[in-house]
Copies of this chain bind each other. A is one copy, B any other.
Amino acid sequence: MSARLPSLWKRLSSTISPRPAPPKAHHHAPIPDAAFPSGYVLTGLHCGIKKTGALDLAVILSTTPKPASAAACFTRNAFKAAPVVVSEEVLQRNASTARALVVNSGCANAVTGKQGMEDAWAMVRATDALLGCSAKESETLVMSTGVIGQTLPISKVLAGIESQSSDSQTKSLGSDFTAWERAAKAFMTTDTFPKLRARTFSIDGREYKMAGMDKGAGMIHPDMGPPRTAGQLHATLLGCIMTDAAVSPRSLQSALTYAVDRSFNSISVDGDMSTNDTIVVLANGSAASDPAAEIDEERDPRTYQLFRDELTTFAADLAQLVVRDGEGATKFVTVSVNGAATYEDAHRIASRISTSALVKTALYGQDANWGRILAATGSVPLSVPIDPTRVSVSFIPTDGSPALPLLVNGEPETVDEARAKEIISVEDLEIEVQLGIGSENAKYWTCDFSYEYVRINGDYRS
C-alpha cells in the first residue's frame, strides 16, 4: 500500500495543485475606541480550557442601570447543548432582558448530560455575581463552542469569571478596542482571525452605535430560530451584537429573527448544522435618556424597519467573515437567486447551490462548470416549479467588469472560456441564477471545497 502512495501524490499534484488559502489577516484591523457602543465592558482571558494557552473565556457586561433588552436565535438541531437550553431559560425568566453574556471556547458543553447543565448554570451564577447588588438572579446568557461530548473544566472556568470581580487584582474588563478585541479572540476555535466589527448609524437624527463579534470556520450551515420554537439544539456558530439603541424586547427579537434569516442562516461552509449555534443581541439604550426614543415595531413601524435593516446588514457583515475564514477556503462566493415566486424558494435554491460538493470542488478547481450549478438548481422542490426555458445563469465579476452569461433562457451560451477562467480565478465571485418566475430574491454566501478542508476535518480530534 505504501508503495502506491508516492504515485498517488504525484497524480494529485499533476492535475490540480493545492492552492493555499489567500491571506486573511487584513480582515481584522484596529477600530477607533469611539466606534463602540457605550454602556458595555468586556474582556477575554485564558482560563485554562485550551491547552495552547490561547484566550478561551469572554465576559461581556452591560453597565446601564436597567437590564438590556435581549434577543437570541438558537440552532434548530434536536441535540441542544446545555448553554443553549440555559440561555433560553434565562431569556424566558427575565422577559427577554439580560445584563451579561459569558462565552467559552475549546469545549462545546454539548451531549454532556446533567453535569453539562449544572456547569452552564454555574457559569451563569458566577457571571451574575460580577453584576453587583442591582442584579436579580440569572441575568446572564451563556454560549460555548468546541469539542462535543466533553465536560468543561468547570473550576477553571469559574475561577476565570471570578477574576473579573470588582475587588480582583486581575480584573481586565474595559470598553476600548483592546477589550473588544480580547473578547473576540476568546470566541475563536479553528478561526484564523478574530471577527469584530463596529458601526455608527442614525435614525431620525439620533446617533446609535453597534458592535459585534462572531466565530466559526467549520460545521457552518446554521438554521437558527427564535427561542422556544420546536427542536433547537447545539451550534458552532456563535455571535453577539451589542447596541446602545433602546429597543423593546419584542421588537428586538423580531428584528433579529429577520436579520438572522438574511445573514447567519444564509451562509454555509460545509452544510453541517451545529448543536450550539447561537446569536445574541443586547440593546441597553445607553445612547438615549429619553424613554420615548425606544424603538418599537407597533409604536413606530418606520423607525423599527430602519433599525431592523441596520441590524440585518451588520449581521450579514459578521456572517460573511465566517465564510471568509471557512476551513480550507480559497474562494468567497456570493450566490444570488433572483426572480423566484417566494423568498423561501429563492433561499432554498441558493442554499442547495452553496452546499453542492460538485459546485464547490469546481470552484476550487477554477472550472466554470455551469452544468453543476444548473443540476443543483433543478434538484430543489419548490412552491412554484422551475420553467427551464426561463432560467439564466451568469458569473458576475467583482471588479465591476461586465457579467458573463453562461446560460440564457435555458440555452447554453457559447462561453469565452478564457474570460470565464479569468473571473473564477479571483478570490471573490458572484454566481447569479435568474429564474424568471417572480420578483423574490435571496442571497447566500459560501466558499469552495479544497484539499485543505479534507485535511482539517479528517484530522480534527487528534
Residues in A lying within 8 Å of B, measured CB to CB:
1, 4-5, 8-9, 11-13, 15-20, 76-80, 110-113, 147-149, 218-219, 223, 230-231, 233-234, 270-275, 355-358, 361-362, 364-365, 367, 369-372, 374-382, 385-386, 388, 391, 407, 410-412, 449-455, 457-462
Q: Chain B nearest CB: distance from A225 CB in Å?
A: 11
- Find out whether the CB atom of B362 lies under 8 angstroms from the CB atom of A458: yes
B12 touches A379 (CB 8 A): no
Is the beta-carbon distance between B77 and A457 smaller than 8 angstroms?
no
Docked-complex contact B356 and A458, CB < 8 angstroms: no
Residues of B with C-beta under 8 A to A385: 78, 230-231
Whether the pair B18, A111 counts as a contact (CB closer than 8 A) is: no
How distant is A114 from chain B, measured CB to nearest CB, in Å? 9
Contact check, B358 vs A218: say whether CB atoms are below 8 A apart.
Answer: yes
Which of B15, B275, B362 makes the CB contact (< 8 A) with A374? B275
A sample of 5 cross-chain residue pairs with beta-carbon separation below 8 angstroms, ordered by A number, consists of A111-B407, A148-B375, A273-B376, A451-B455, A454-B454
A379 neighbours in B (Cβ, 8 Å): 76-78, 223, 233, 272-273
List 19 additional contacts besides A231-B385, A275-B375, A365-B457; criterion CB under 8 Å. Answer: A9-B9, A77-B379, A78-B386, A79-B378, A79-B388, A80-B388, A113-B411, A147-B371, A148-B375, A219-B375, A233-B375, A233-B378, A272-B372, A273-B375, A273-B378, A362-B458, A364-B454, A365-B459, A367-B459
CB within 8 Å for A361 and B453 given contacts A271-B355, A458-B367: yes
Copy count, this protein chain = 2
Does B457 contact A272, Cβ atoms closer than 8 Å? no
CB-CB nearest in chain B for A406: B149
List, in ascending order, chain B residues with CB within 8 A of A233's CB. Answer: 375, 378-379
Residues of B within 8 Å of A410, CB to CB, are 111, 113
What's the Cα separation between A230 and B382 when bound, in Å? 10
**Do most interface residues of chain A lie in helix, strand or loop, or is the interface mixed?**
loop
Most chain B Cβ neighbours within 10 Å, of A12, A385, A450:
A12
| CB of A346 to closest CB in B, whole Å | 14
- Beta-carbon contact of A362 and B457 below 8 Å: yes
Taking a contact as CB atoms under 8 Å apart, the answer to whether B358 and A272 are in contact is: yes
Return A434 CB to nearest CB of chain B, in Å: 14
Sorted nearest first, the 9 A-B pairs with minimum C-beta distance are A365-B458, A148-B371, A78-B378, A361-B457, A273-B379, A78-B386, A79-B378, A77-B378, A270-B357
A450 contact from B19, B381, B454, Cβ within 8 A? B454
Residue from the list B15, B113, B272, B382 in contact with A356, Cβ < 8 A = B272
Residues of B near A378 (CB, < 8 A) are 77-79, 231, 233-234, 273, 275
Taking each of A18, A112, A358, A378, which has the highest tally of chain B beta carbons within 10 Å of its own beta carbon? A378
How many angstroms from the CA of A79 to the CA of B407 in the assembled complex?
A: 13
